[in-house]
Amino acid sequence: MAFPSTRPRRLRRSAAVRRLVGETHLEPRSLVLPLFVRQGGREPVPISSMPGVVQHSRSSARAAVSAAAELGLGGVMLFGIPERKDATGTQALDPEGILNAAIGDAVAEVGDALVIMSDLCLDEFTDHGHCGVLDARGDVDNDATLELYAQMGVAQAAAGVHMVGPSGMMDGQVGAIRSALDDAGHPGVAILAYSAKYASAFYGPFREAVGSALQGDRRGYQQDHANGREATREALLDVAEGADIVMVKPALGYLDVVRQLRDAVDVPVAAYNVSGEYAMVAAAGANGWLDRQLAIMEILTGIRRAGADIVLTYWALEAARLLSGRMPT
C-alpha cells in the first residue's frame, strides 16, 4: 500500500501550527459596532429579536462608545430612533435631533480614537418607514430624496461625524452627499457607501430595533437577491462618485458579492453582518443547538476570508473580548 507523501494534515496538527499558517486575521480594528440610540430613553431598552442588543439611552451609548475604543474596535455606526416621525423625516436634519446629538456625544467621548460613523438614511425618521420621501403616487422620489440626504450629511458633519454611511440605495446618493459635504467645508468627512444593499428578510429584527413603521417592502430601490453583476455596477458608480469605502449587505448570503467587489475596486470593502444573521445564531445558541462563540468567530473570519476588510457586526465588542483573551473560548 502506497501511503501519501503529501500530507496537508501536517499543517493542522496543533493549535500552534494552525496559528502559524492561518491566512485570515480577525482583529478588533476590523470590526465596527452598530449602535441604536433612542431619543428620550433613560435606560437601555432590550430588543427582543436581538438578545443582547439594546436601544441605548444617550448615556449608555456613550459608555458603549467608550468600551469600543478601549477594546480597539475600528469604529461605531450610529442609528437614531426619534420620538416623532413625519413624512419627510425632519428630525434627521435637526441639529438637536437624536442622531446628530448621539454623534456629538460619541465624538465628545472618544475624539479621534475611534471612527465615528452614522447611518445616512431617512427610514428611521419617516412615518411611512421608507428610505426617502414619497411622490404623489406613493413611490420613493429619488431626486427629492437626494436633496434631503445632502442636507442630512451636512448636519451629521456639523455634529462632528468622521464617516457617513448612506444606506438608502438612491441613485446618485454618493455624489450628491460628496458635493454637499465639500461645499459646506467638510472635505475630510468620508463616505462609507452601502453600494450593494439587497432587499432582505434578514433585516427583520432591525425593524424592531429602530421601531420602523414600514408597510410593504423596499424592492423598488434595494437590490434583487438573484443578481450579482449589478453589485459591481453599483460599487463602481459609487467609487466614481467619491465613495471612500464600499459595502455589501447582508453578508452571509452574499459572500460571493463580497469577493467580487474586493476584486473589482481599489478602495476598502466592508460587509454588514445584519440583524437577522445575529438573531439566528442567538436563537440557536440559546437552544444549545450550536456553540455560539465558535459560530461567531467562524462567521466573522469567513466574512473576512471572502474579502471584507471591515465587518459591521453586533458582536463587535464580544468578538474583541474573545480575541483579546478576556473571555474563554
Q: Which residues are catalytic?
A: 197, 249
The nearest distance, CB 8 to ligand PBG, in angstroms, is 37
| Residue 223 interacting with ligand PBG (CB under 6 A) | no
Say if residues 276 and 250 touch (Cβ distance below 8 Å).
yes
C-alpha cell at 208: 424592531
Say if residues 77 and 117 touch (Cβ distance below 8 Å).
yes
| Residue 126 interacting with ligand PBG (CB under 6 A) | no
Question: What are the C-alpha distances in Å from 98 to residues 226, 238, 329?
Answer: 36, 28, 37
| Residue 123 interacting with ligand PBG (CB under 6 A) | yes
The nearest distance, CB 314 to ligand PBG, in angstroms, is 7
Place of cell 457617513: 164
Q: Please, which residue, 56 or 218, has the CB nearer to ligand PBG?
A: 218
Of 9-17, 57-65, 117-125, 315-323: span binding ligand PBG (CB under 6 A): 117-125
Residue 181: CB atoms within 10 Å: 22
| Residue 167 interacting with ligand PBG (CB under 6 A) | yes
Question: What are the C-alpha distances in Å from 268 to residues 118, 318, 326?
Answer: 18, 24, 29
The nearest distance, CB 132 to ligand PBG, in angstroms, is 11
SS3 299: helix
| Residue 234 interacting with ligand PBG (CB under 6 A) | no
| Residue 275 interacting with ligand PBG (CB under 6 A) | yes
The nearest distance, CB 28 to ligand PBG, in angstroms, is 20
Say if residues 98 and 90 touch (Cβ distance below 8 Å).
no
Strands 190-197 and 45-46: unpaired
Question: What are the C-alpha distances in Å from 292 to residues 15, 115, 200, 246, 296?
Answer: 20, 28, 23, 29, 6
| Residue 92 interacting with ligand PBG (CB under 6 A) | no
What mask of x and - would describe binding to ligand PBG in positions 169 to 208, judged by CB under 6 A? Answer: ----------------------------------x--x--
| Residue 117 interacting with ligand PBG (CB under 6 A) | no
Q: Which residues bind ligand PBG (CB under 6 A)?
A: 119, 121, 123, 167, 203, 206, 218, 274-275
